Each structure stands twice: as structure tokens, then as C-alpha cells.
């Protein structure tokens, strides 16, 4: 029997076990109820993870020459945005992306960051908050012009020959059967809990981990390889990794993640794993995205889904503040205020 369905059948039993365990782990039973309320709401609202990962990314070549068709939010540091940004792009920040999204006047939103990874957290927040057409700019501003390339230096082969990388055809660990973590929120209805959890995720910020750290001590994490089975056979996997994919709530497959361990998701580029990490954080997991994905671990051996030379599209710059006199930096360097 497929593990995802076995997990689904065990959910009522697991729920009882978790409630019983509340006296031992000091988790309020109400937080367990809110976790279930949130999950039911997400499924009923077509906000299950596979739904949110549909058509989530867009290439620079699709935007170039058609910038006015999109509402482009650039969430890099303000000083970097000033140095160069896509024409018509509006500066924002990860923490402020929901507030700034309201200015889009109904246009599809594209979120731009340095490499496409931080933007994954922002786009997940947007999609969970009523902006289903929001997307990540693939590879971030690095793909727009080589002046902003943060990818090339981070591609590498640190996993090649590493004792904790299982060579092809790989050796994926058996899936376990777990419950789900509690969710802390003031609200008791699904939409209110979701809004609070999204806000908390954005406030916490992007959560990533270096590939070398995971390869050095894979036993310290619950590692999920978000690949197809054929990809594992072709490239191998990190020692001890599971392969839980597409990890849906409705099927119960997501409950095969261990809520008691730091969950590291890795993919090809660290972009879809950022989306997944944001979603898991909203659900109460201690989740991390493996930065740069397989491109940072086995780059030379990849036949597809790998970083390549950026386009050389033109960009706009904002005159230095001392020339304009219109704005002054805040202490965070993420936003500006009028004097």
C-alpha cells in the first residue's frame, strides 16, 4: 500500500496519541485543534501544497519587453535595488510584501530577489493570501544581468565523493508514520489562523541551510528529497533522505514528515524548496530550505534544471539619495521614508 494512504488511515490514531502526549510535552490541546482547523481550511480552500506549486515560476525572458504587464516587487535590500532593478519594478521587502501587493491593481505579481530563493517565501505568502497569480522570477535578479549574478559562485560539486552522498541509483530511506505539529494562533477559525501563521512566517524570514552543513551531519535533520523517483535513480541522494512528493495534505502524505526534527527540503535550485519551507513553517514545522539545491552539490553532473549564464537585459538605476534629496534610509536598509 502506498505510504501516503497508510498515513491517512492512521491519522485518527495519531491524533489521539498526540493529544495524550500533551501532558508530557506541555502543548495546549487547543493548539492541536487549531492545527487541524488550519489544515482542513487549506484543503477546502484549494490551498493544498500541490495546488500552490502550480505555475509558480516565470523566466526573465518572459518578462523582458513586457514588464508593464506585471506588478514586479523587488525584495532585495534597498541599496541594491537602487543600484539596478527591472524597469517598473517597485521596491518592497519580505516582511512588507503583503502590504505592497495591494498596489498591483490586479496585475500578476512577480517577486524578485537575489537568486529566486527568498522570493519563494514571499510568493508562498502571497498565494496563501489571495494572490494566486504571483510568481518567483526564476534565478532572481541574477538571471536578468550578469552585474547581479549571485549564482555562479554558489554552484559546485561539494557532494561529489562525499561519504554522505549516496551514488546512483541512490538509497532513499523508508518513510515513517508521524502526526503533525501544533499551531499557535489567537484566532480559532481557519482563515484567521492562516493569516496569523503567514504573518509569523514572514516575520521570521527566509530559513535556509548550507548544503555542506547538511552533508556533514545529515543525521541532525529530517531530509526530504523533493525529486521524482527517476531523478534519485539518476543522481543519487543525501544519506538518510526520504522522498515525500508531492506531499499533499489531502492524501495525508505530508504527515509522513517528522514534526519533532528540523525538516530540510532540497530540490534542484533551492527555489521550490523555499516555497515548500515557507508552507511547512506556516503549518508549524521547524523547516529549512537547502540553499542552491542540487546546483550547489552536484552541479557538474546535472543534465537539466541547472543554472546557466544570465541574460544581459538592461536595467534602471535610482540616483543616489544625496542627489535626489527625496528619501532617507531607515536603519533596516529595507525601506525608505520621506524626510
Q: Is residue 29 domain-resident?
A: no
111 close to 275: Cβ distance less than 8 angstroms? no
Q: Is the pLDDT score of 276 beyond 90?
A: yes
Cell of 240: 538518510
Q: Same domain for 332 and 243?
A: no
Q: Is residue 43 domain-resident?
A: no
Cα-based angle 311, 315, 320 (whole degrees, multiple of 5):
145
Q: Same domain for 268 and 230?
A: yes
Strands 328-329 and 336-337: what pairing? antiparallel
Q: pLDDT tens digit string along 124-169? A: 999 999 999 999 999 999 999 999 999 999 999 999 999 999 999 9
**Number of C-beta neighbours around residue 327 at 10 A:** 15
Q: What residues form DSSP beta bridges with 166?
A: 237
Output the CA–CA distances (angstroms, integers) from residue 237 to 74, 174, 215, 222, 257, in the order listed: 34, 13, 10, 13, 17
Q: Same domain for 15 and 115?
A: no
Q: Given the C-alpha cell 534565478, which residue does it identify?
A: 139
Q: What's the confidence (pLDDT) of residue 84?
A: 96
94 close to 205: Cβ distance less than 8 angstroms? yes
Q: What's the confidence (pLDDT) of residue 25?
A: 53
Q: Global pTM? A: 0.88
Distance CA 198, CA 200 (A): 5
Q: Same domain for 221 and 277?
A: yes
Q: Same domain for 247 and 280?
A: yes
Per the model's pLDDT, the better-predicted residue between 1 and 182 turns out to be: 182
Q: Same domain for 110 and 170?
A: no
Q: What's the confidence (pLDDT) of residue 321?
A: 46
Distance CA 291, CA 154 (A): 9
Using alpha carbons, select from 162, 296, 175, 299 the residue that is nearest to residue 239. Answer: 162
Q: What is the Cα 187 distance to its own chain's centre?
A: 25
What lies within 8 Å, CB to CB, of 210 at 6+ separation is 290, 291
Q: Same domain for 219 and 135?
A: no
Q: What is the domain-level CATH number for residue 209? A: 3.40.250.10
Q: Same domain for 17 and 123?
A: no
Using alpha carbons, select from 224, 194, 229, 227 the residue that is nearest to residue 209. Answer: 224
Cell of 21: 502526549
Q: What's the confidence (pLDDT) of residue 320?
A: 60
Encode 208-245: b = buried (16+ Cβ within 10 Å), e = exposed.
bbebeebbeebeebbbbbbbeeebbeebbbbbebbbbb
What lies within 8 Å, CB to CB, of 268 at 6+ separation is 227, 293, 294, 295, 302, 305, 306
Using alpha carbons, select from 287, 293, 232 the residue that is nearest to residue 264. Answer: 287
3-class DSSP state for residue 242?
strand
Q: What's the confidence (pLDDT) of residue 331?
A: 33
The whole-chain average pLDDT of the chain stands at 89
Cell of 3: 505510504
Q: Is residue 30 domain-resident?
A: no
Number of domains in the chain: 2
Q: Same domain for 107 and 187?
A: no
Distance CA 45, CA 190 (A): 10
Q: pLDDT tens digit string along 209-223? A: 999 999 999 999 999
| pLDDT confidence tier of residue 334, bands split at 50, 70 and 90 | very low
Q: Same domain for 259 and 143?
A: no
Q: What is the Cα 238 distance to its own chain's centre?
A: 20
Q: pLDDT tens digit string along 4-60? A: 434 443 443 344 334 334 334 556 789 999 999 999 999 999 999 999 999 999 999
Q: What's the confidence (pLDDT) of residue 13?
A: 36
- What is the residue range of 329's domain? 52-149+309-337
At residue 337, φ and ψ (nearest 5 deg) are -130, 150
Per the model's pLDDT, the better-predicted residue between 331 and 307 turns out to be: 307
| pLDDT confidence tier of residue 65, bands split at 50, 70 and 90 | very high
Question: Cβ-count burial of 10 within 10 angstroms (0-12 exposed, 13-18 middle, 19+ buried)?
Answer: middle
Distance CA 18, CA 2 (A): 23
Strands 135-137 and 208-209: what pairing? unpaired
Amino acid at each position: 500500500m502506498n505510504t501516503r494512504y497508510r498515513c491517512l488511515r492512521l491519522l485518527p490514531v495519531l491524533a489521539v496519541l498526540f493529544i495524550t502526549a500533551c501532558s508530557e510535552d506541555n502543548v495546549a490541546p487547543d493548539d492541536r485543534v487549531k492545527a487541524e482547523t488550519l489544515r482542513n481550511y487549506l484543503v477546502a480552500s484549494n490551498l493544498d501544497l500541490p495546488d500552490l506549486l502550480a505555475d509558480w515560476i516565470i523566466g526573465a525572458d518572459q518578462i523582458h519587453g513586457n514588464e508593464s504587464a506585471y506588478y514586479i516587487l523587488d525584495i532585495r535590500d534597498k541599496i541594491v535595488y537602487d543600484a539596478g532593478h527591472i524597469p517598473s519594478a517597485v521596491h518592497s521587502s519580505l516582511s512588507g510584501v503583503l502590504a505592497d501587493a495591494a498596489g498591483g491593481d490586479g496585475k500578476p505579481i512577480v517577486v524578485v530577489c537575489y537568486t529566486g530563493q527568498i522570493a519563494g517565501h514571499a510568493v508562498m505568502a502571497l498565494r496563501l493570501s489571495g494572490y494566486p497569480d504571483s510568481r518567483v522570477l526564476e534565478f532572481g535578479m541574477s538571471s536578468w544581468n550578469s552585474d547581479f549574478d549571485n549564482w555562479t559562485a554558489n554552484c559546485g560539486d561539494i557532494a561529489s565523493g562525499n561519504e554522505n552522498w549516496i551514488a546512483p541509483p541512490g538509497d532513499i530511506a523508508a518513510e515513517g508514520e508521524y502526526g503533525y505539529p501544533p499551531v499557535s494562533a489567537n484566532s480559532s477559525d481557519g482563515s484567521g489562523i492562516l493569516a496569523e501563521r503567514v504573518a509569523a512566517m514572514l516575520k521570521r524570514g527566509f530559513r535556509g541551510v548550507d548544503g555542506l552543513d547538511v552533508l556533514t551531519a545529515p543525521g541532525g535533520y529530517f531530509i526530504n528529497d523533493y525529486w521524482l523517483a527517476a531523478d534519485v535513480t539518476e543522481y543519487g541522494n543525501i544519506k538518510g533522505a526520504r522522498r515525500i512528493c508531492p506531499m499533499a495534505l489531502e492524501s495525508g502524505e505530508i504527515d509522513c514528515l517528522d514534526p519533532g526534527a528540523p525538516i530540510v527540503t532540497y530540490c534542484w535550485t533551492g527555489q521550490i524548496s523555499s516555497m515548500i519551507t515557507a508552507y511547512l513553517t506556516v503549518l508549524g514545522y521547524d523547516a529549512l530550505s537547502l540553499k542552491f539545491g542540487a546546483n550547489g552539490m552536484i552541479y557538474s553532473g546535472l543534465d537539466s534544471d541547472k543554472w546557466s549564464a544570465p541574460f544581459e537585459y538592461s536595467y534602471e538605476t535610482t540616483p543616489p539619495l544625496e542627489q535626489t534629496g527625496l528619501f532617507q534610509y531607515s536603519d533596516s536598509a529595507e525601506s525608505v521614508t520621506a524626510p
